[in-house]
């Protein structure tokens, strides 16, 4: 694989906007000179993730990870360095130059090829949708599905020809590797034929809906059966209404919500995301002005989906089918929303109609009636467990309480739990004190049954450090002083001996390199420090020190304390080593005198510790 030139890497680093790039993954808000948001790496409810565009780095206090925009992509998407540069360059439309001028698509990483393959295939499908032979497909789209051609263009709706021919040939001629084509999920037969031209296109004779990730890249497709196109009798999927891409290197159902790339721009803390059942439902809602509509990928909403939504909004409205399956799905959504710290409502279509059918008939004018016909989480759950048109025994109410408690217990906020219990008491006509007492008993039983370990015998991981975690070593303190008090850096570089530092710690190793750069006159501040950090632990340490500098009233006095500590630690270890060497030396050994002189010198220095003037 041809390597990206150093000049091109620096161009991408300079031109790419780290705030915009990370904003593709989590909502960021201005906080002084930096930006703040929820961690893109782990579910959380209180923002602990910071981006510092002036210094070109991020730091996540929840996971103790930090670095520049390339490292962010490496951590978030599992890329290597070259893939991260390619990804950032592609995001901002920057042309990457390779060390070999004749670089081809084959020189790109597997992930880069997979994204390009899907983009090429989507373009081909969209062109087929607009072609003369696909007139019946467009009629199906506009008359039977009642969507406009503008909506088709907006979502890049396509058509896969019935014979499915030529796709592998087209992509192969474009220069993509056989391995990338095989791993794209677009073909069958890859397991038994080494010849790509003998593979069969997975999608044929169907309407094609591209699936995009939160950054807007096409990562998969959904293919919808067309009633007027006969399916191949040899095709095992011919009876399926929908055929979906398999999971690949770039597509994981649990991490994708259809249309989130568009919806996230409209979602705010006071603007709920509208969760619908399928892609066409989301397209319908979006075309009716519901710009925050999203859908899962043919699978139940899970914790990862909720964590993804939580990065952009705290509210979700569930607009699911009115049938039993849709209502059951809504009920399963509630504990996930409570766990993620999100406010959830369930929307109801007037007359219990199908959402897609209703909005297709009413257009945007019908949306207010849906939006305003909403149930809160607890009222919806109570009505589902205890239908108001029926009479319920005490035993039935107690069973329903257990289900409600299971939902409420997911909320971390005591206030949220108490408000929910108050609602339960009111809606079930049960005594509030008794409901609270039963809930406490439920929690106690739940804690008793839940092992202290993670469920598999493993110990729980240690709690991550918070933003206020103090520096724990003298090396870290000195490194912080060097980074934030440049006037002292040259004095420290001249004063500190490298043997005083703990060479086994990331802080000691990084500080040694930083002081050497300063001593040699090559120090250019933070940019140099970032280049000197060699591994993940050093990058994380540096990012933490830059993101959260510890206020030091008198940095010179702090530096002198660190110098004294470092020398005392070194002198103590060295004197022990000298004593052991002298004891082990044979009588009359020539080096004993030098060892004794060194020991005397260390004692003298201990009486007048090194310090900055």
Do residue 89 and residue 185 come from a single domain? no
Residue in 286, 65, 58 with CA at minimum distance from that of residue 155: 286
- The rounded distance, in Å, linking the Cα atoms of 259 and 275 is 10
Q: Give the other-Cβ count within 10 Å of 135's Cβ.
A: 10
Question: Residue 453 pLDDT > 50, yes or no?
Answer: no
Do residue 246 and residue 262 come from a single domain? no
Name the least confident of 104-108, 109-113, 318-322, 582-586: 104-108
Do residue 119 and residue 239 come from a single domain? yes
Is the CB of residue 376 less than 8 Å from the CB of residue 330? Answer: no
Per-residue pLDDT, 223: 94
Work out how many domains the chain is built from and give that number: 5
Which of 202-211, 235-244, 458-467, 507-516 shows the highest mean pLDDT? 202-211
Q: What is the DSSP letter of 383?
A: H
Do residue 233 and residue 325 come from a single domain? no
Percent of the chain with pLDDT over 90: 35
Do residue 239 and residue 121 come from a single domain? yes
- Provide the CATH number for the domain around residue 281: 3.40.1360.10
For residue 265, is it within any domain? yes
For residue 558, is it within any domain? yes
> Region 425-433: what's the mean pLDDT?
92
Do residue 223 and residue 265 come from a single domain? no
- The rounded distance, in Å, linking the Cα atoms of 595 and 582 is 7
- Provide the CATH number for the domain around residue 232: 3.90.980.10
Is the CB of residue 26 less than 8 Å from the CB of residue 93? Answer: no
> Region 127-145: what's the mean pLDDT?
94
pLDDT digits (tens, 9 = 90+) for 572-598: 888 888 888 888 878 777 777 777 888
For residue 530, is it within any domain? yes
Do residue 597 and residue 546 come from a single domain? yes
Per-residue pLDDT, 597: 81
Question: Residue 62 pLDDT > 80, yes or no?
Answer: yes
Do residue 328 and residue 396 come from a single domain? no
Examine the fold and report which residue of 251, 277, 305 is the final residue of a domain before the chain moves on. Answer: 251
- Provide the CATH number for the domain around residue 86: 3.90.580.10
Do residue 270 and residue 360 come from a single domain? yes
Which of 439-443, 568-572, 593-597 shows the highest mean pLDDT? 439-443
- The rounded distance, in Å, linking the Cα atoms of 389 and 392 is 10
pLDDT digits (tens, 9 = 90+) for 378-403: 999 999 899 888 888 888 888 999 99
Do residue 328 and residue 377 come from a single domain? yes
For residue 460, is it within any domain? no
Query: Residue 480: which domain range?
Result: 474-607
Q: Give the other-Cβ count within 10 Å of 387's Cβ.
A: 10
Name the least confident of 231-240, 350-359, 494-503: 231-240
Examine the fold and report which residue of 230, 251, 272 is the final residue of a domain before the chain moves on. Answer: 251
- The rounded distance, in Å, linking the Cα atoms of 402 and 360 is 40
Copy the structure tokens of residue 392. 């319920």
Do residue 296 and residue 415 come from a single domain? no
The CB-side HSE value for 203 (13 A sphere, CA atoms) comes to 30
Question: Residue 462 pLDDT > 50, yes or no?
Answer: no
For residue 429, is it within any domain? yes
Burial of 330 (0-12, 13-18, 19+ CB in 10 A): buried
Is this model's pTM higher than 0.85 or not? no
Do residue 481 and residue 597 come from a single domain? yes
Examine the fold and report which residue of 225, 251, 277 is the final residue of a domain before the chain moves on. Answer: 251
Q: Please give the radius of gyration of the chain, using alpha carbons only, rounded to the nearest integer.
A: 31
For residue 461, is it within any domain? no
For residue 469, is it within any domain? no
For residue 489, is it within any domain? yes
> HEC states along 549-611?
CCCCCCHHHHHHHHHHHHHHHHHHHHHHHHHHHHHHCCCCCCHHHHHHHHHHHHHHHHHCCCC
**Cα distances (Å, whole numbers) of residue 251 to 138, 213, 244, 254, 260:** 28, 8, 11, 9, 14
Strand partners, 67: 58
- The rounded distance, in Å, linking the Cα atoms of 388 and 599 is 89
């Amino acid at each position: 694989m041809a390597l990206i030139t150093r000049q091109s890497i620096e161009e991408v680093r300079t031109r790419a906007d780290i705030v915009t790039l990370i904003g593709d993954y989590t909502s960021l808000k201005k906080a002084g000179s930096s930006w703040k948001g929820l961690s893109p790496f782990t579910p959380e409810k209180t923002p602990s993730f910071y981006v510092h565009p002036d210094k070109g780095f991020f730091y996540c206090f929840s996971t103790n990870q930090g670095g520049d925009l390339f490292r962010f992509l490496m951590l978030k998407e599992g890329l290597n360095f070259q893939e991260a540069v390619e990804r950032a360059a592609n995001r901002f439309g920057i042309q990457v130059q390779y060390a070999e001028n004749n670089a081809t698509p084959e020189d790109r990483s597997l992930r880069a090829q997979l994204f390009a393959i899907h983009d090429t295939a989507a373009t081909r499908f969209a062109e087929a949708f607009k072609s003369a032979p696909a007139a019946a497909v467009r009629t199906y789209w506009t008359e039977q599905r009642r969507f406009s051609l503008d909506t088709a263009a907006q979502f890049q709706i396509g058509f896969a020809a019935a014979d499915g021919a030529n796709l592998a040939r087209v992509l192969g001629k474009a220069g993509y590797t056989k391995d990338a084509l095989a791993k794209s999920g677009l073909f069958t037969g890859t397991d038994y034929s080494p010849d790509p031209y003998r593979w069969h296109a997975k999608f044929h004779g169907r309407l094609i809906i591209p699936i995009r990730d939160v950054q807007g890249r096409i990562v998969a497709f959904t293919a919808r059966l067309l009633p007027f196109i006969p399916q191949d009798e040899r095709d095992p999927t011919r009876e399926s209404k929908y055929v979906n891409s398999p999971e690949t290197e770039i597509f994981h159902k649990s991490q994708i919500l259809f249309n989130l790339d568009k919806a996230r721009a409209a979602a705010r803390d006071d603007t709920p995301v509208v969760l619908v059942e399928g892609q066409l439902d989301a397209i319908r809602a979006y075309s009716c002005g519901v710009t925050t509509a999203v859908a899962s990928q043919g699978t139940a909403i899970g914790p990862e989906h909720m964590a993804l939504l939580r990065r952009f909004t705290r509210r979700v409205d569930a607009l699911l089918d009115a049938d039993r399956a849709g209502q059951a799905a809504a009920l399963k959504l509630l504990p996930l929303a409570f766990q993620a710290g999100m406010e959830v409502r369930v929307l109801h279509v007037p007359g219990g109609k199908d959402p897609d059918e209703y909005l297709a008939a009413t257009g945007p004018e019908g949306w207010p009636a849906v939006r305003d016909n909403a149930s809160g989480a607890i009222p919806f759950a109570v009505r589902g467990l205890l239908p108001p048109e029926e009479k319920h025994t005490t035993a039935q109410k107690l069973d329903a309480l257990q289900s409600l408690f299971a939902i409420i217990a997911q909320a971390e906020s005591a206030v949220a739990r108490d408000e929910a219990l108050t609602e339960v008491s009111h809606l079930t006509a049960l005594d509030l004190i008794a409901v609270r007492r039963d809930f406490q008993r439920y929690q106690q039983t739940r804690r008793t049954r839940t092992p202290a370990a993670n469920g598999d015998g493993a110990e729980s991981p240690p709690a991550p450090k918070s933003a206020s975690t103090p520096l724990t070593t003298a090396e870290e303190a000195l490194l912080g002083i060097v980074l934030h008090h440049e006037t002292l850096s040259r004095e420290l570089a001249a004063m500190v001996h490298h043997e005083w530092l703990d060479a086994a710690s990331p802080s000691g190793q990084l500080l040694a390199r930083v002081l050497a750069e300063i001593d040699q006159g090559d120090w250019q501040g933070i940019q140099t420090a970032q280049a000197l950090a060699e591994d993940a632990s050093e990058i994380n340490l540096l990012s933490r020190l830059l993101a959260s500098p510890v206020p030091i009233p008198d940095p010179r006095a702090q530096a002198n304390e660190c110098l004294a500590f470092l020398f005392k630690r070194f002198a103590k270890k060295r004197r022990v080593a000298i004593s052991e060497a002298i004891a082990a030396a044979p009588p009359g050994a020539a080096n004993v005198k030098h060892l004794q002189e060194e020991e005397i010198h260390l004692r003298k220095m201990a009486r007048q510790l090194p310090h900055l003037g």
